[in-house]
Amino acid sequence: MPTSPVLWTSTKLREATRGELSGAVQVRGVCIDTRTLQPGDLFIALIGHNSDGHRYLKQALEAGASCVMAHDEAAIAEAGLTDDPRLLKVTDTMQALEDLGRYRRSQFQGKVIAITGSVGKTTTKNMLATALAAYGKVHASVASFNNHWGVPLTLARLPKEADFCISEVGMNHPGEIAPLAAQIRPHIGIISTIGNAHLGHMGSIDAIAEEKAALFAALPASGIALCPEASQGLARLKEALPAGVSLWQVGTTEKATIQLTDLTCTAEGSHLHLLTPQGETDMELTAPGPHLARNAALALGTIAALGLSPAAGAEALRHFLPEAGRGQQRLLPGNVTLLDESYNASGPSICAAIETLALMPAERHVAALGDIRELGAFAEAEHRALAGPLIKHDILTFCCGPHMKSLYEALPPSLQGGYAETSVQLASLLHPALKDGDALLVKGSLGSNMRALIALLEQPVTTTPHAPESA
């Protein structure tokens, strides 16, 4: 196996963090969790709500870390590392992680793209990373590393030889995007959607648009901002643009900078034709769903914003497949096709998933839905509003969670498959009800634990379990 290139040297670590490091080390990766640590990594002992990385300093070195960063002197002494040449001692590890990210960003000569959005930011990021690989070396956020530690970690891992850096930016409270965008300093900013995710914390769609607009406000005068032409809060996004920044809208009208034409969506995937300032291209996606086609258009629009012809990117996206929890399809025991959307949920993303489910050939279309979290006082109304799409597509629906009970009660009896308080309890209702040839959508917020339901569905039914009474 080839050795990873050196990412940080002792000199650069000291310069970036202003920390104390007596030894000569070579760092090939940056890690904050010993469970994912690779030999040659720098292990950073962050302090979180429920954990303290200082407890794992010795374990990190035993696992092959070339260097450990820490600030707790008592923990350092307890681990026997006070005079260890592999110890990078700093004033505060979280601040030092940000310092690493800022230092690496200041040295980077490639193009930097930042993506936020209520729905679709991770998939759009993954699509863009896939497409941009046709033009050069790409460094992108891992998974959904988009918060106060995920963004600087992405930057701290940025190889100097990369051509493109893609950073995802998340939020669920006011004031979170601006400081992250200031660290990223993007050349191009993308807002995938503005929707009702985190509505309970934010209070209104206008407040969400205001927060998302902070990404566009961070762009330089030569920057380009991209968003769907039908974005909610579009006026606020335009107001946030600094002088000289261009707004490229992606949509189906002639006014759109990136124009989708001939969009056709089937169970096998999507076809679309794209018109951009850098030329036009046809694109075939093997992953179904109109929302994925729109995400792909944003990704190819970004390639055009970089001054590149989108054709090679379109070809690279031809075989793009969503990740588990984000639209992946696979077969469950009993010949049931699973549409796995279990990672997270919002009203718009559930509606998009329902549209994709309806495209899938099946004897029956079935949905298992868990609560959408962080909606506050808007929860009951937002959940009940999902009844319309389910009724339209005649989807037999199973629900779990206190908020989803509102949706369940809004459905006609013919579409009420069963209700339970938790995802695990719902599995005992859903599992025996599934039939050969069904297509099943599973979706809910991360806190709804719909992954546990899928894990139970992946086990063959051997006996009929006792089911809780349905509502």
Binding site residues for ATP, as ranges? 117-123
SS3 assignment, position 232: coil
Tokens representing 128 are: 């863009």
Q: Closest by alpha carbon to 190, among 243, 248, 143?
A: 248
Contact 75, 54 (CB under 8 A): yes
Cβ burial of 94 (10 Å; 0-12, 13-18, 19+) is middle
Q: Which residues are annotated as a binding site?
A: 117-123
- b/e per residue 122-147 (b: at least 16 CB within 10 A): bbbbbbbbbbbbbbeebbbbeebbbb
CA 76 to chain centre: 35
d(CA 113, CA 5): 23
Contact 458, 465 (CB under 8 A): no
Q: Closest by alpha carbon to 97, among 163, 162, 31?
A: 31
d(CA 89, CA 69): 6
Residues in contact with 292: Cβ distance below 8 Å, sequence separation at least 6, in sequence order: 123, 270, 285, 322, 327, 356
Helices 93-107, 10-17: crossing angle, 10 deg rounding: 110
Contacts 24+ apart (CB under 8 A), 430-435: 430/366, 430/368, 430/398, 430/457, 431/456, 431/457, 431/461, 431/465, 432/461, 432/464, 432/465, 432/467, 433/366, 433/398, 434/332, 434/334, 434/336, 434/366, 435/334, 435/336, 435/363, 435/364
Is the four-CA dihedral 15, 18, 22, 27 of positive or negative sign?
negative
Side chain identity at residue 231, one-letter code = S
